[in-house]
Amino acid sequence: MSSSVKYLRIKDIEIPVDIKSYKTSKSIKIYFKGNTLNITKPTRLSFAMLMKILKKDEDNLYSKYKQILDSEISTIKQWKTGEKIYYKGEEYTIIREYTKKFQISIKIDQEQKQFNILVPENIQQDVLKINIDKAIKKLFKNNTEVLIKAKLPYWSKVTGFDYNKVTVRDAITRFGRCMPSKKNVYFSSRLIMLPEDKVDAIIVHELCHMKYKNHNKQFYDLAEKYIPNYKEIDKWLNKNGKNIMF
């Protein structure tokens, strides 16, 4: 396998492109991961031919990339009073206050639906943002681990699919991942931001991969066996995935 990162210029923008060539690939796969256009292709397909293929679809690629950029801009948090963030499927208001102590503390007020962030006085905004980002991510990781620990054993028992290793890590492009060969499951630490029924569906999704690696009809039929409105939830996740960005 070979890999190279290039830039594709379409109209007024340059799109970062990560191209991977595999000897075993039989077809081309083109998809966005974050703000990077990912392409996997057979080694025999030349770069010039690939560019011709992308040229035919440039209007669609341009439109998708602009949507991604707009989404990123609208979701970037400065952690200032009045900004919004999702927690357990509900919208919370950020309240930022200052302290003479040189540390950042975060308190979630579920009754008032507020994220109260206490920050040191006279700290530069760029430094402040980086450190609040870290604190929020750590908080979400810890809370998601508690949530998964409570839910995963239940759904494992219901579906009959066992698992070995469970890992929660900060991820924004995928809610979860499964390695059937090792029976390992991975979940985004941002799951704590979603409604509980969506978390249940994500857990069931990954467990169903223990039997079906691909998203074929049998896979979806199996997921619907345990989550009857699975397809509806799947559409909701695709539409509202940007809610976990910050």
Read off the pLDDT of residues 135-160 as tens digits, 9 standing for 90 and up. 999 999 999 999 999 999 999 999 99
Read off the pLDDT of residues 30-80 as tens digits, 9 standing for 90 and up. 988 777 888 999 999 998 899 999 989 999 998 888 887 776 666 678 899
Contact 210/164 with Cβ under 8 angstroms? no
Span 87-95, average pLDDT: 97
Domain ranges within the chain, ordered by starting residue: 2-74, 84-136, 142-244
27 or 222: which leads in pLDDT: 222
- Rounded to whole angstroms, how far apart are CA atoms 65 and 60? 9
Predicted structure pTM score: 0.72
CA distances from 202 to 112, 212, 244 (A): 28, 15, 14
Class of the 142-244 domain? alpha beta
Read off the pLDDT of residues 173-210 as tens digits, 9 standing for 90 and up. 789 999 999 999 999 999 999 999 999 999 999 999 99
Contact 14/8 with Cβ under 8 angstroms? yes
- Three-state secondary structure call for residue 160: coil
Q: Which secondary-structure segment (H or E) carries 22? A: strand 13-22
